[in-house]
Amino acid sequence: MSRSKPTTRVGAALKIASQDQLHLDWSYQGLKPDELQAFAAKRLPADFDKLRAQLIKGEFHNLTQQRTVSHVLSRSRHNVVKAGNGRNRFNEIVRLLRSGNWQGATGKVIKDVVNIGVGGSDLGPMMGSFALREFADDSSLHNLKVHFVSSMDGGQLHAVLPIVDPETTLFVICSKSFTTADTFANVDTVMEWVEPALTHEQWLEKHVIGVSANNQAMADFGIPPAQQLSFADSVGGRFSLWSSVGLAIALTIGSHQFSVMLAGAAAMDDHFLSEPLENNIPLLLALTGLYNREERGINNLAVLPYDGRLRYLPNYLQQLDMESNGKQANYRGEPIDYPTGPIIWGGFGPNGQHAFFQHLHQGFDAFAADFVAVLHRKAPGFAPAVQDALREQQRLAVANALAHRRLMWTGSDPATDGMQEGEATHHYVGNHPSNLLFVDELNPRSFGALIAAYEHKVFTQGVVWQINSFDQPGVELGKKIATRIHEVIDGDREEQFDDSTDAIIRRML
């Protein structure tokens, strides 16, 4: 296997784009600014500015599903006013639960909340709650614990149920469609578990909140109107953490900090709309990614956060990017023969160094990488010596991010990398392009900006590839086949599939 040689080397030209909170160093992409400009002129469609403006105004058309795309409105300043009652209900629920003023049906205060959802109804809320929990605006309040259950097999539920009490636990049933089999398999088990502590009516009355775009289904399920949090159908599941789907984040950090996160994302919307290419972070992410995919034939992107609070970022971006842009048909439904979105994978960088990085440095496979680093850490609430120690750990992590990204790009240089004689015979070929995304501090505002930047990257690449980034027909077809197989396993249907599938079904029967 051969890989093309880089066109630029380290130190040749520092290239950093900056926004209010987020910065992107793309020096290790091996592209000169004029090369990138020429590539942009070649690949961005003539009406890109118009399409981008439509997205920001909530007027972009999802043609295969005949609706607009409106996730940006969930965080726009203008729309917070429009959201009116919905936002008030959301804030009131957050206030009652976080202040210990929500009593369950038997009069006991709710202490645990379990978010049941999957895909966009799990990954965004889970990632945000985990990343931002130290920023709770009133952490001295009642100590509410938030748990996440997504897996259809019940493994996660099996771990959570023994540590919570039906009388003091509230379940958020989070599902855009309110029909997802995974989610309702977990809900069915929970309904068995709450009895005999609570009747079904008691459970519905005080222990369930519905979050969905399907109001009728929430009502049919029996969720009281005051506990239904709806959002627009035009908000895609994987773009929904800004809507009421973000309830678990708000329960973790409070409504005020949740709105700071929305403001951080809105600031990135403004940046994407107005900054010129050379300083436009989402556009640079999109174009360097397109270049790596199309000109260098690199089929994957490793997402490598160097801050433990961002450890769920790779999982989140997997859905955001792969479910949006892993397509072989254009938005008119015609087959296409050019490559679209790459495989997104990755993991927490510092631990990856002790696992898969060896292959990255010296294996035969081409990859691109996004390093994500937080330069400084404040640790209020700890003794000064512990604060210093934590700050030092942050420096250690950043140093490691810088070292590994440098080695991945330059390969080894025995003269300057302090290699001993024997080591110089090892091959560190380098030539792996990477981005370094960094913030001075991780907080709700910078987190919002980071996630919104990736959303706009995905949008831009989808426009260039002429695909609809807002549907997921492949997954839908998989769900339909799973339903048929499940019916055969349950004895409700007779059908044969193929020798292998039929043999496993027979074993189960």
Considering the rule CB under 6 A, would residue 446 count as an interface residue with ligand F6P?
no
Q: Which residues pair with 376 in a beta bridge?
A: none
Of the residues 76, 228, 325, 472, which one makes contact with ligand F6P according to CB under 6 A: 472
Q: Alpha carbon 15 to chain centroid distance?
A: 26
Active site residue 479: yes
Stretch that binds ligand F6P, among 118-126, 199-207, 276-284, 401-409 (CB under 6 A): 118-126
Binds ligand F6P by CB under 6 A, chosen from 129, 180, 228, 243: 180
For residues 247 and 93, the answer to whether their CB atoms sit within 8 Å is yes
Name the catalytic one among 42, 192, 334, 354: 354
Q: Which of the following is catalytic: 323, 404, 455, 457?
A: 323
- C-alpha neighbours within 13 Å on the C-beta side of residue 211: 30
Distance CA 502, CA 70 (A): 43
Question: CB-based contacts of 428: which residues, under 8 Å, 6+ apart?
Answer: 361, 362, 407, 411, 412
| 121 scored as a contact of ligand F6P (CB under 6 A) | yes
Q: How far is CA 415 from CA 402, 404, 418, 424, in A?
A: 19, 17, 7, 9
* DSSP state string for 179-246: --HHHHHHHHHHHHHHTTTS-HHHHHHHSEEEEES-HHHHHHHT--GGGEEE--TTS-GGG-TTTGGG
Q: What is each CA distance from 161 to 66, 166, 170, 187, 484, in whole angstroms?
A: 41, 9, 12, 12, 30
Q: Residue 1 has what DSSP assignment? A: -
Of 32-40, 72-80, 172-180, 263-271, the segment contacting ligand F6P by CB under 6 A is: 172-180
475 part of the interface to ligand F6P, by CB under 6 A:
yes
Closer residue to ligand F6P in complex, CB, 186/340: 186
59 part of the active site: no
Burial class (CB in 10 A: 0-12, 13-18, 19+), 275: middle
Residue 354, both tokens:
């002790």
Q: Does residue 377 bind ligand F6P (CB under 6 A)?
A: no
120 binding ligand F6P? (CB under 6 A): yes
Q: Which stretch binds ligand F6P (CB under 6 A): 33-41, 177-185, 303-311, 408-416?
A: 177-185
> Residue 232 interacts with ligand F6P (CB under 6 A)?
no
Residue 327 binding ligand F6P, by CB under 6 A: no
Interface with ligand F6P (CB under 6 A), residue total 14
CB of 478 to ligand F6P, least distance (A): 9
Q: Does 5 participate in catalysis according to the annotation?
A: no
238 lies in the site for ligand F6P, by CB under 6 A: yes
Q: Which of residues 30, 119, 166, 433 is near ligand F6P by CB under 6 A?
A: 119
448 touching ligand F6P, by CB under 6 A:
no
- The residues of the shown chain that bind ligand F6P, judged by CB under 6 A, are 118-121, 175-177, 180, 183, 237-238, 323, 472, 475
Residues recognised as catalytic: 323, 354, 479
